[in-house]
């Protein structure tokens, strides 16, 4: 499973995850596209646009910057989830020992 570093530089900050860590999250891209991501999320929530229509728009142009930013958010969320899982798993193991 690929995990993403939170920041550039200091690749040895997480020695136990070195094999799983790849490039850093592109936070600048997320910040740049934040308003557009909120616009699409609001359109889905208010049902002014269907999820399928928005996904169709992005799949026509896989290099769409808002789509790329959404993928980065997903990568960050996945990395956070896995890191929390591993931390909790390790804390449960240490309590049993």
Q: Burial-class residue 20 by CB neighbours within 10 Å (0-12, 13-18, 19+).
A: middle
23 φ, ψ (degrees, to nearest 5): -75, 165
User: Which is nearest to 70 in space by CA: 34, 45, 20, 17?
Assistant: 34
Burial of 90: CB neighbours in 10 Å, binned 0-12, 13-18, 19+ = exposed
Q: 55-77, pLDDT tens digit by residue?
A: 888 888 778 999 999 999 999 99
pTM beyond 0.75, yes or no: yes
52/71 Cα distance (integer angstroms): 16
Listed as ranges, residues in the chain with pLDDT below 50 are none
Bridge-partner residues for 5, per DSSP? 24
Structure tokens at 60: 């026509």
pLDDT of residue 18: 84
pLDDT at res. 81: 94
- pLDDT at position 87 is 85
Q: Where are the domains of the chain?
A: 27-96
Retrieve residue 52's tokens.
């399928």
């Amino acid at each position: 499973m690929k995990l993403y570093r939170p920041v550039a530089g200091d690749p040895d900050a997480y020695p136990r995850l070195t094999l799983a860590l790849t490039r850093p999250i592109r936070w600048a891209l997320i910040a740049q596209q934040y308003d557009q991501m909120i616009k699409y999320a609001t359109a889905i929530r208010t049902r002014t646009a269907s999820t399928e229509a928005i996904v169709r728009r992005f799949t026509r142009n896989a290099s769409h910057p808002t789509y790329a930013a959404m993928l980065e958010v997903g990568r960050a969320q996945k990395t956070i989830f896995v890191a929390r899982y591993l931390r909790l798993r390790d804390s449960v193991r240490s309590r049993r020992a």
